[in-house]
Structure 1
Amino acid sequence: MAQFKHPQILIASNLTDGEVVFLGASGWERDHRRARVARSAEEAAALEASGKRDISANRVVDVYLADVEIGGDGAPTPMHYREKMRLKGPSVRLDLGKQAAGGAP
């Protein structure tokens, strides 16, 4: 098992509409601030196992763990560029997705 360095969250794409989703306490969330945070390698493995079950059930695709920083409010924020861009929604049409709805972080 790889060395655990940072807290992590599980990210995927919703199979129905392609939206980015985050595994939360009671299922997949569209808001990264409600994601469950793994603080150990064991917790990260449990998140991944849950994601793999949901892949098999055809709920999500492209499941992976992402390193996060925990803010003063306790909310996780991705550390890397790819995940920061995924939070914002489509980057080619600002009239679609989260930007259009005013929900881009």
Structure 2
Amino acid sequence: MKVLTANRLSDGIAVWYADGGWAEIVGHADIAHDKAAEDRLEAIGAAAAANNEVVDVNLIDVTAVDGLVEPVRLREKIRAAGPTIRTDIGKQASAAPARAA
């Protein structure tokens, strides 16, 4: 399973492609379950980067843990949650987890 991630150009926040836009919570992202879906997400990411909406566009591996979408790599887990030294700020302080589709 993969999702499309990037950083929003206007403020640098990590975002994930979801339902025709960019969500700030990885659990809301559209999940690619096959190569055709991955290709579709890559094309969407390339167009968004060309339109100066986002930068650093990448497909990343995710998994479902207890029904929740979670990045596989540590770097992506940190991007999804926020600062590691202050858990009272960032996404981990306010984000409600989203169920895997």
> Above 0.5 in TM-score?
yes
- Highest relative contact order (Cα 8 Å, sep 6+), 1 or 2? 2
Q: Which secondary structure does the structure 2 equivalent of 1:83 belong to?
A: helix
The aligned counterpart of 1:76 is 69
1:7-46 to 2 correspondences below 5 Å: 7-46=1-40
CA–CA distance in 1 between the matches of 2:44 and 2:74? 25
Identity of aligned residues (%): 38
Measured after TM superposition, the shift of residue 97 of structure 1 is 3.4
Measured after TM superposition, the shift of residue 86 of structure 1 is 0.7
CA–CA distance in 1 between the matches of 2:55 and 2:15? 10
Deviation string 1:3-56 (CA, Å, 9 cap, x unpaired) is xxxx00001000000000000012100011110000001110110100110001
Q: Which of these two proteins has the greater Rg computed from alpha carbons? A: 1
- Structure 2 residues without counterparts, runs of 5 or longer: none
TM-score (norm. length: structure 1): 0.79
Q: Look up the equivalent residue of 1:77 and give its one-letter code.
A: E
Deviation string 1:37-84 (CA, Å, 9 cap, x unpaired) is 0000111011010011000111000000111112443x4211111100
Q: Which secondary structure does the structure 2 equivalent of 1:37 belong to?
A: coil
1:52-63 to 2 correspondences below 5 Å: 52-63=46-57
The aligned counterpart of 2:94 is 103
